[in-house]
Amino acid sequence: MAYQALYRVFRPQDFSSVVGQDVITKTLKNAVANKRTSHAYLFCGPRGTGKTSCAKILAKAINCLNPKDGEPCNECEICRDANENRLNDIIEIDAASNNGVEEIRDIRDKAKYAPTQAEYKVYIIDEVHMLSQGAFNALLKTLEEPPAKVVFILATTEPQKLPATIISRTQRFDFRRISKSEIISRLEFVLQDQDVKYDSQAIETIAVAAEGGMRDALSIADQAISFGDNELTLVNALQVTGSLRNDQLLDYFKDIANHDTASALKKLNDILISGRSAQRLTESIITLCRDLILVKSGNSDEVSQATMLNELNDMQNAFTQDRLFKIVDTVSDTQKNLKNSNQIDIYLEIMTVKSCEEISEQVETTPVESPQLQSQISSLEKQIEQLQEQVKHAPVATQAAPVAKPKTKTKKAKVVNKTAVFTILNGATKDDLNEVRDIWPDMMQMLPITQQAMMNVSKPVAASDNGIVVSFDYALWFEKVTQDQELLDTLKDNLGKLTKKNLDIVPVAESQWPDIRKEYLQEHQDEMTSDEETQDQPVAEKEETKAVSLAENLFGSDNITIKED
């Protein structure tokens, strides 16, 4: 016999078979028994909690020829046709695909005609929050003057997206997540009925993974059974629930290990599209970090995900403990933000960017696991040394002269373009900086969301009439932005729109910025000391305060940390 999906075989056909929604099913049953049903219902709640099942049972019960205490008989002609989806008077509409005004107008026109076969015509509109504004208006008109013998059942996972005018014209029922123990006992019933042998730990694993949805629980059980030759084992249950979550999580985490921000952001997007909750994702990342820390410290037997031990072993060397702790901090902060925010995607993207860019302090001072990263850092250090040598031996006049703009610089894009920075510093004022800082949040708003997340780790640190210096929290992130000409062009365009000036944007890494700034101040202090008589100095103060005033003029007094060597 061909195998049929469990959730189809066990879709409840009467109210008493619905799991975990006793108050709702009892109320509906009484309404049917006493012939006091409403003309419009709203069923709200998470997916897989029985909204559509209850809507179908209700539609059948109010039309059943021999109802028993409000339950459909499932034997009369009407019940049988309804169970086989052949009853023309029960009309199911998926608003996710039929969200046009026309469809709802169509309902208004057709609803005027009497039911053909049953006593009531019942419209079940699934995912009703997806209707367009125009369709809502049309629906509202129908609900305001409901045709006789027509019942509307609206179902949604997101009632907060419905207009209050619609909600107030319906009788609302809130479906709750089904408890773990209720899911377990239903699974036991189903498996016994199907003569499937099962391990009770397997059922528990499935009940946890289903996150309160009965339909998900049955689907997962189905998959696990198909793995195990009509037997539900713990290993298979772990494997199946793992394939739902662990594979995606591990792929995502490998990108974090490799500092591959772009790929990690794409995987994050896939995870969110597949319907995983943000809370669940952040919990899983923290558990994974914890397990990696345990493996690294030689306590593999204590990991919470024993089935992932091979993957954990493979991955442990990609991280230092220090970096794992930092990632846990970042993810915990994100969890706090998620609780009070609608901007869930942005917070998760920022979390991803930060986790990718997070480098432990040990990485920069000791030989590390990733040879690629190590060689990047060494070459960067070498380039900086060379540049510093060049700057030291170059005549002062050459440095102060206008120089090549950053966009013409391609070969050594990873190095801070110090000449460009100095050019800006030559004309920098704190007023210019304050102006740029004021418009910075607006600049961020003008970017696409992914770029916003990337730029979240940036801040302007110096500004003049010809350009701004932007610092980035993480060195690798600075590198990425420096190489992203498209992003730099977009930023430059937006900056131009907001300031009406043609400003260059020069990125620096936050870790390098204090040294660059100090170097500039020292050089210009020397310059001032030697050429004081002949040059018209912007800051003509007493010698000992010269550097401080210069710095104040450039960056504002709150940013000064000058140490005399």
Binding site for Zn ion (CB under 5 A): 64, 72-73, 76, 79
What letter represents residue 219's amino acid?
S
From the CB of 20, what's the least distance to Zn ion, in Å? 25
Least distance to Zn ion, CB of residue 279, Å: 43
% helix, strand, coil for the chain, step of 5: 60, 10, 30
Residue 79 CB, nearest approach to Zn ion (Å): 3
Would you say 60 or 546 has its CB closer to Zn ion?
60
Closest of 233, 219, 232 to residue 183, by C-alpha: 219
- Nearest to Zn ion of 59, 487 (CB atom): 59
Closer residue to Zn ion (CB): 118 or 338: 118
Nearer to Zn ion, 50 or 72 (CB): 72
Cα(106)–Cα(95) distance, rounded to whole angstroms?
14
171-174 and 197-198 as β-strands: parallel, antiparallel, unpaired?
Answer: unpaired
CA separation, residue 458 to residues 262, 443, 502, 506 (Å): 17, 12, 20, 12
Neighbours of 275 (CB within 10 A): 9
Three-state SS sequence of 159-202: HHHCCHHHHCCCEEEECCCCCHHHHHHHHHHHHHHCCCEECHHH
Q: Which two tokens stand for residue 509?
A: 């890494």
Whichever of 79 and 220 has its CB closer to Zn ion, that residue is 79
What the block records as the tokens of 346 is: 């942005």
CB of 82 to Zn ion, least distance (A): 8
Nearer to Zn ion, 48 or 72 (CB): 72
Write out 228-261 in H/E/C secondary structure. CCCEECHHHHHHHHHHHHHHHHHHHHHHHHCCCH
Residue 550 CB partners (closer than 8 Å, separation 6+): 521, 524, 525, 538, 539
What φ, ψ does residue 170 adopt, rounded to 5°? -120, 160
Q: Cβ closer to Zn ion: 32 or 481?
A: 32
Least distance to Zn ion, CB of residue 90, Å? 13
Please give the Cα distance from 335 to 329 (Å, whole number): 10
Instruction: Kindly state the smallest distance separating residue 311's Cβ from Zn ion, in Å.
Output: 53
3-state SS, 475-531, equals HHHHHHHHHCHHHHHHHHHHHHHHHCCCCEEEEEECCCHHHHHHHHHHHHHHHHHHH
C-beta closer to Zn ion: residue 89 or 432: 89
Q: Nearer to Zn ion by C-beta: 68 or 141?
A: 68
User: Taking the complex as a whole, how short is the minimal distance between the CB of residue 111 and Zn ion, in angstroms?
Assistant: 23
Residues 6+ apart with CB under 8 A from 296: 316, 319, 321, 324
Distance CA 469, CA 462 (A): 5
Closer residue to Zn ion (CB): 20 or 72? 72
Of 117 and 429, which CB lies nearer to Zn ion in the complex structure?
Answer: 117
Nearer to Zn ion, 118 or 528 (CB): 118
b/e code 431-452 from CB counts within 10 Å (16+ = b): ebbebbbebbeebbebbeebbb
Q: Least distance in Å: CB of 76 to Zn ion?
A: 3
Q: How far is the C-alpha of 7 from the C-alpha of 115, rounded, in Å?
A: 30
Shortest CA distance to 331 belongs to which of 304, 295, 360, 356?
Answer: 356
61: its two tokens:
């019960």
**Under 8 Å between Cβ of 505 and 468:** yes
Output the smallest distance, CB 7 to Zn ion, in A: 23
Query: Shortest gap between Cβ of 28 and Zn ion (angstroms)?
Result: 16
Closest approach of Zn ion to the CB of residue 77, in Å: 8
Least gap, CB of 341 to Zn ion (angstroms): 48
- Identify any residues that bridge with 150 across adjacent strands, giving them in sequence order: 121
Q: How many CA atoms lie within 13 A of 107 on its CB side?
A: 29
60 vs 186, beta carbon nearer Zn ion: 60
Q: Which is nearer to Zn ion, 79 or 104 (CB)?
A: 79
CB of 71 to Zn ion, least distance (A): 9
Nearest approach in angstroms of CB 60 to Zn ion is 7
Q: In terms of Cα–Cα distance, which of 141, 137, 145, 153 is closest to 53?
A: 153
Tokens of 243: 């394939």
**Residue with Cβ nearer Zn ion (79 or 125):** 79
How crowded is the C-beta side of 131, counted as CA atoms within 13 Å?
A: 26
Minimum CB separation from Zn ion for residue 75, in Å? 6
